[in-house]
Structure 1
Amino acid sequence: MFGQLTRFDGPLFNDLGRVLRLMDEAFGDVGHNDLRSTPWGAFPGINVGETEDAVRVYAFVPGLSNADIELSVEDGTLFIHGRRDLSDHTETASGWYRRERFRGEFTRAVRLPETVDPDQVEAQLANGVLSIQLRKREEMRPRKIEIQAA
């Protein structure tokens, strides 16, 4: 709710950003009906979907390599952790008017359904999209049941 306010750059507004995040944590998304909504500035952006045999997570991480990202599954949660270093792009002769590209460390957590097997995870990074496939437990996958003749 409060995180949707316009953000500016600079030391004063960094403190304001912290206050807005604390207010978001305290009050949640009051007025937002969509439980899937993401706080302002969340990086990386993600899509989460499901097929019959797997849960699929797509994280949009342009400019990052495999070495910049770590994945882990712990207590039914997928963690995407990494770092984006923009040291070559941090200074200009006259300063920035606006900076929107995220830099620094990030972590995204995705709560997984109980149907996921945490030992059956595959991930690929191509063209700035991290594709993560978390296979469902065999016993949890849908299957056809044959009806016997009487």
Structure 2
Amino acid sequence: MSDVEFQFNGLDELMEEIKEAERKVPDISEKVLKKGMNKVRKLSKEKHINGKKGKKHINSSYKILPVEYESGGLNVKMTNTCPHFHLVERGHRLVTKSGKEIGFVQGKHMVERSMEEMGEEFPKMLEKEIKKILK
């Protein structure tokens, strides 16, 4: 029987590139998460129409919190500091001064719709960033 040997030229260089990409991945994941949340904030602002002048605007109250490292991966949260945001987002009852309920105002679901849109775009953003690393 004869022994068969395979020799690959440049394998060591490729392994070094892969290790380098692994070191950069946490930074890239964080970068892509921040970009994604900024896009969600932008889409949410576009979906909301401001009301009366002199009132605290929902659009200026979106805040993106710092990226958190958890056992399952990275996590980033977006909040809105406007006190009536939840009423506009999810809807609310219409009640008279006497307490009689006269209807319901449907929510605008700005953030929910924006998150659904980003659910389709986010994998593409991540793939694009990974391709940049592996160049």
**Larger fraction in strand:** 1
**What TM-score, normalized to structure 1?**
0.24
If asked which structure has higher relative contact order (CA below 8 Å, sep 6+), I would say 2
**Larger fraction in helix:** 2
Please say which structure displays the higher CA radius of gyration: 2
**What TM-score, normalized to structure 2?**
0.26
